Each structure stands twice: as C-alpha cells, then as structure tokens.
Chains A and B, each alone.
Chain A
Amino acid sequence: MSRLSDADVRARNASAWLLPSGDERTNHRLRADMRRYDESDEVDVVVVGCGAGGGTLMQRLARTGASVVGLDAGPFWDPDADWVSDEAGSHRLYWTEPRVISGSDPVPLGSNNSGRGVGGSMIHYAGYTPRFHPSDFHTFSLDGVGADWPIAYQDLKPYYQAIEQELPVSGQSWPWGDPHDYPYSPQPLGGNGQMFVRGAHALGVTTKVGPVAIANGRFGNRPHCIYRGFCLQGCKVNAKASPLITHIPDALAHGAEIRPNCMVNRVVVDGRRRAIGVTYITGGVEHFQAARLVVVSGYSIETPRLLLLSGSKEFPDGLCNDHGQVGHYLMVQGAPQVAGRFDAEVRMYKAPPPEVSSEEFYETDPTKPYKRGFALQTVSPLPITYSEHVSAQGHWGEALREYMRDYNHWAVTGALCEFLPRYENAVTLAAETDRNGLPVANFSYSMCDNDRALEDAAQHTQEEILKAAGATETIAVKRYAHLVGGCRMAADATQGVVDADQRSFAVPNLYLVDGSVLPTQGSANPALTIMALAARCAERLAASRNQGAPAATRAGGGL
C-alpha cells in the first residue's frame, strides 16, 4: 500500500496527533478529561483487555458513537514515569501473576510473550509487523496440516493496509506472500542487521529490512526513533507503535473509558444464554459493569482462563465450552536463536532489535520432509537475555563470564517456525489460586515431529548464514515465541469457539477479539494480524448496528 498523506490517516485515527509534542510522552489532560461511565450504566460494549485486539476495537467502536468501557488488569502506562531504559527494571511490563507450565515441552511465559497493562504485549514486543501469507488461511487444504480459517487473506487485506498506515510500518517492498509496499521507508541498520544481510546474501538468500512498526521519521507528534535498542522494554520515545499510543488516545477522544488495574473474574450470562456484563476486582473489591455486548480480549492464556472461570448452570464446563474447544489448539512458534562470533565489533545493543527479515523459507517446500516453514529475523538480545543464551550451552562460572565478556563481538538471529496446532496443547485451570482466589492457568504444551524437524532446519539455516557472514563460532538455543489460539475461529461450533466474525457460537453477544481466535499462526509475528482482525470485527459490528434495530431486541449480537 502506498503511503497516504498524514492528513488522511489523521482523519480516521488521530492518536499520533493527540500525544504531546514537547518533553512529555503522555497526554495527561486527555486522560484526566476521559469520559467516565457509572457502573449502573449499561454501556454498549465492555472490553476485557486493552492490548492489540481490545485497544484497536475500542478505537473503532468509539468512533461509531458506541459507549465503550475497557477494563485492563494492569496499569494505564505513562512511558515517562513508569518505564525504564533497563532490562531488569522492565519486569513490571509482563504478566507475572502465577501460572503453571507443563507438557513434554513446557513454554515459559512472562517476559517472552505475556503483557500486562494498557497496550498489552505490544508494549514489549520487538516491533515486527509482518502480514500472514495467503497460504496461512488454508493450510489444511493445501498441505494437510493445521486448519483452514473460515476467512481468507483477501478478507483481511484491507485491514492489514489500514493498520500498517496507522502504526505506521516501515520497511522495504515486500516480495513474499501477497507482495506489498510499506508506508514508510526502511530504517538504517546496526551491526547485527548488517551481519545478517552479509551472511544471507553470500548464500543467495533474499532479505528485506523491516517490517517494523517504527516510523522512519516523525509521525504526528511521535518523534523519530533514537536507536537505543530497548524496544522490548517499552518504548520511552513513543517511536515504536503500541495501542497505548496508536489507538487508545483516539478512543479516549471519542468517549471511550479505560479502567486500569481491574481484573475481570467473570463474564456474567443470564438464563437465556446472553451476556449481561462482567464482574471485576479492583482495590480488593468486586464490581459489576453492565453491558449490551461483551468483548474478551485477554489473549491466549487469560481469555480461555476467563471463559473457564465463567462457568454456570447453563455452562457447567465453562462459558462457550459446550464442545470442549475452550483453551485448546494453543500455539507457540518455535524460535531457535543462533549467535555468531565475529572478529569485528557488532555491538548489537545499538539499534532496534527488529531490523531485517527473510521469508524465503516460509512456505511448504515439497523437497523437504516437513510441512510449512519458518521466517528469519534479527533479534539482538540485551545482556541478561544473552546470558540465558550462553547459559543454555551449559556454561556457568568462568566460562559464562568469558563468553559474556565477548558480548560486543556476537550477532544473534532468530527464527519463527510454524508449529502446528494440536488439541492437547491447552490452557486448563490449575488447583493453585492467585491473590484474588482465582484458579491460575496451567498451560500444557508438547511438540510434534513436524515441529522438531522445522526447528532443526531453522537452526541449521541460521548457522549457515552466520558462518557465511564470517562467524568463527556459532551457539544455538531452542526456545519459543508468541502465543496464539486457544479459542479459535471455525466454521462450526464443534471445531472452534467463535465464528468468522469472532462472535462466540454459544453466546450471541459475546465476542473474542485477540490472538486467541487464530486457527493457525504462520511464521509471522502475530500483532498486526490481531489488530487487523479487530479492525475487521469492529467494522462488521458497526455495520450490524447500522441496520437500525435496538441491540437488545435483536437475536444477533450486533451493537
């Protein structure tokens, strides 16, 4: 998509112009003047979770004139006062309430994939915003693995374009999947990006700079990136996109309310299987917010957990769980990372970690023994994260110290492998409870043979690339990245939790708008797709509202 003028983007989403242009990063006046609903008001929509899905949806719905309240378990962040340019000090950005991990290949949560507070996991994501490929939407028909979505790439394409303009995304012209351009030109490269490009090109592997949700230049009142390398610790600059600065300000300007530090513990459903609102705990006290439409946007662990916590006489096994689908088909991408040692200084801590990608290996290659593929990206870990990489080699004591003293000579790349959705990979409720007395999530995960073959291939390819760039030694670590699925969309209620419009099969005025609805994950970072789905969902809700009938009298779930 070619670049629209800033004025065109501003006309439909003024967030970047609602931020202050001076020394502050937060528009405190906008927040102080925020509309506040009374708990006794039955609002049009209550949204549980203000991240990629919830934040985008709120902005769109507020613009249609709907009354919207967003509840978030975490804070309403102020980048100036709350965030630091420091790895360990960024602990508070992550979901650190207790969770249990199990299965034959348990997946660590927290800093790797789970956000907390307004902006969600996009506060600490790297900033990569690739689209899914058209093939991702029907892997079962194409390759006999995974699942077919009830929608196709073309259904999402206009929303991909819209969100890419609003973040905005910078990068080179994209040759893979559905070829497209980005609204902003690519960022300059640091040492890590240069090494990846050098190695890949020596092997004839195409790379492209981006796609990264950091404008190359000013955007509205958001300043230019300062290349400080702390993208994963929350962007104090306001250069890297997250809903906190790309959609929430415009939502507030159109009358939405954000209620931070509110942990929703139940979606309340009446005897006719209609949602009437949610209960939430704040300050140790339970409250109830009535709403005509309930949207759950808590991501792949907390959304299924909330549904399972919302069981009732009508839903003895958990809300929307008539067919045992809630919490299942939860996915993570295999994300092996490889570090390479160079005689030159790389100093990968300079420049944003998201720099360069290759999707050369994304699609199924009939000559390979596995289905689907992987993407390659630069990652640039800071010292604590890199010490985990070294420690994973078995090094400790003096050996650990010596590897770490050599930090400035190492470049690190990462892969995203399309691990397949499996029913047994699921969130269930554990016996352990959190401080509110609510059972915590137990996330069980086990890999299949195709996953392992992909992971090995992705590791091997990275080793070859770094060696081709001149690395004298490589060290690899196997790990995971991202979460999607757990309440997937499907053609019918026996196969998933929501339909193609993200409306739950079981409760007509309950929608799920987050990464949990994805039936497959491709080899793409999920944020852009979650936002595009939210924008599509909002447009379809608004269209049903324009049909004119008062929401409460309609059988359907429109506004």
Chain B
Amino acid sequence: MKDREVSSGLARRHPPVTPGGKGRFGDFDVLGQVSRWDLVTAGVVLARLDTDPQLSFFTAEEEPTVRALTDLLLGQHDEPRVPVVEMLDKRLLAGETDGWRYEDMPEDSDAWRRSLAALDDEARALHGERFSDLPPERQARIVQGVQDADEWHGFSAGHLWSLWTRYACSAFYSHPWTWNEIGFGGPAYPRGYKNMGVDRREGWERPEVDARDPVPWAERREEALRAHEERQDASPSEERDR
C-alpha cells in the first residue's frame, strides 16, 4: 500500500495538470484516485506520464513536422503538452496497428513517413518553407486541404485523415491530463461506481467550473476560420499573403 501512495504522490501536481492548462473541472484530478486502481492498470496509465523526448521511429527530419501536425490536429499550442509524438513514436516502433489497413494505403508506419514528407513538399511548393516553419494559419490551411480533398499526394485523403486522427486521438485521450480536462473518471477497478444516473456524482467527481456548453464557442471559431479562408481564397495570388 505504501508503494501505491508514493506513486500517487509522484503523479499528482497542484493544481491538477491539464493540456495547455485548459481545464473545466477546477481541482478535479483523476490521478488522486491512483491508490484506488489495481496495480496493473496503474502501471499502464502512469507510464504515459513519461515525457522522455528521445524518439526512435521518427527521424530528426520528420520530428518537427509530426510535432506541428499533431499540435494542430489536437489544438495543443501551449505547455504542458500531452507527449503525443512520443506516444506515437513508441507505437509505430512496436508496429502496434489497429489490425487492418485500407487496401489503397501503405502500411501504417510507411503511411506516416510518406505523409509527413508530403506535408513538407506541399509547404515548400506553396511557401518555400518547411511545414513546421510556416505560421500556424498556413499550416492549418494545408491540413484543412487534406481533410477537404479526395486525393492528396497519391493518398486517398479520407483514409490518410483517418490514420492521422485515429493515432493522434487515441494517444491524446489516453492521457490522464486529458481526463482532467474532460472530467472523465479514468480507471475504475476495483473501486467501481456507486452513484449512477443523470446528474449524480461520486464524492470525488467534480462539477464543471463553468457549466455553459462550450460547443457554440467552437462553432463560432469554425465559422471565423471558414470566413478567414474565404478571404484568403479571394486573394489573387499567394504572394499577397506572404
């Protein structure tokens, strides 16, 4: 039991960590429950707090590109960041796929390398710079272009988008800091739940600090982005917005 308390103490920080310091649940810290988790689960989850930035799968050339891409896909623009690239690196090195690939796609590891190279190719062709050196707005336009395309640099764009978002989201939303952000209770064995049902909470669960629906905000932001893009599309040449 003593060991568990030590690990719990190491994992917790005050105030609780959320990605980019963006929270909605005040002092809710899922890591405060570590002593109530079974040891096998605790080991697997706490290992994700490892932030050793030593990469093995991604090359030094690929690293800035994959960091920029995953930051964009996950809206991670501020520290502390969930170490998504480190998590993807481990996963791709181990060849841990989802157990299938689309017939028109290369194997996952290959698809990652080739698509990162394609992002740099596109950035250089459009703006004469590497993808990671572009300002975030230009990076975002390129990424939005992939989502909107049918075919992109020889990829079925939808299948590439699926690969990127599956890997990025499954890493990001497996991290306890993210659970703090969304108010998810995390591992629940052997503790379980006692208070189920609408508007019912366990003693250790927390209400939102601000209960307003954040999604209308997200929609406004998307509308603004679209308007911004339309203005850009209306500009006669790429030179103007350099």
Q: Spell out A's residues near B (CB within 8 Å).
A: 80-89, 91, 94-102, 106, 108-111, 114, 188-191, 194-195, 226-230, 236-237, 341-347, 349-351, 382-384, 387-388, 391, 394-409, 442, 472-473
Contacts and interface: CB of A to CB of B under 8 A. Distances in A.
Nearest to B184: A383
Given A398-B75, A400-B75, A388 B169 contact: yes
B232 interface: no
Contacts of A387: 169-170, 172-173
Given A349-B184, A388-B169, A403 B97 contact: no
| Chain B at the A interface: SS class | loop
Contacts of A344: 198-199
A100 B99 contact: no
B196 A227 contact: yes
Given A85-B37, A96-B99, A228-B191, A351 B196 contact: yes
A114 B99 contact: yes
Contacts of B100: 98-101, 108-110
Interface residues of B, number: 68
Given A102-B102, A227-B192, A402-B221, 4 more contacts: A194-B197, A383-B173, A399-B218, A405-B24
A83 B40 contact: yes
B74 A101 contact: no
A384 B213 contact: no
B165 interface: yes
Closest 9 pairs (CB-CB, A-B): A226-B192, A110-B99, A228-B188, A88-B174, A402-B218, A102-B103, A96-B99, A85-B189, A85-B187
B242 interface: no
| Chain A at the B interface: SS class | loop
Given A95-B99, A383-B182, A86 B187 contact: yes
B197 A191 contact: yes
A70 to B, nearest CB: 22
A282 to B, nearest CB: 20
Task: Select the residue from B97, B170, B221 with max chain A CB neighbours within 10 A.
Answer: B170
Interface in B46-67: none
Contact of A405 (B41, B97, B181, B194): B181
A88 B195 CA distance: 25
25 contacts: A85-B41, A96-B96, A106-B102, A108-B100, A109-B99, A110-B100, A191-B199, A191-B200, A228-B191, A236-B38, A237-B189, A342-B198, A344-B199, A345-B199, A345-B201, A346-B198, A351-B193, A395-B218, A396-B72, A397-B74, A400-B75, A402-B221, A403-B214, A404-B182, A406-B213
B92 interface: no
Nearest to B140: A397
Contacts of B188: 85, 226, 228-230
A189 B22 CA distance: 32
A387 B221 CA distance: 19
Nearest to B104: A102
A341 B96 CA distance: 34
Given A398-B218, A407-B184, A350 B174 contact: no
Contact of B45 (A86, A97, A229, A396): A86
Contacts of A347: 185, 200-201, 205
Interface string B80-98: 0000000000000000111
Contacts of B140: 397
B134 to A, nearest CB: 15
A538 to B, nearest CB: 30
A97 B107 CA distance: 12
Contacts of B192: 226-228
Contacts of B99: 94-99, 109-111, 114
Nearest to B159: A106
B25 to A, nearest CB: 9
Given A85-B189, A86-B45, A383 B178 contact: yes
B201 to A, nearest CB: 7
Contact of A345 (B189, B198, B217, B222): B198
B146 to A, nearest CB: 10
A351 B196 CA distance: 7
A194 B198 contact: yes
Contacts of A408: 182-184, 208
Contact of A190 (B165, B173, B196): B196
Nearest to A230: B188
Task: Select the residue from B72, B107, B170, B198 with max chain A CB neighbours within 10 A.
Answer: B198
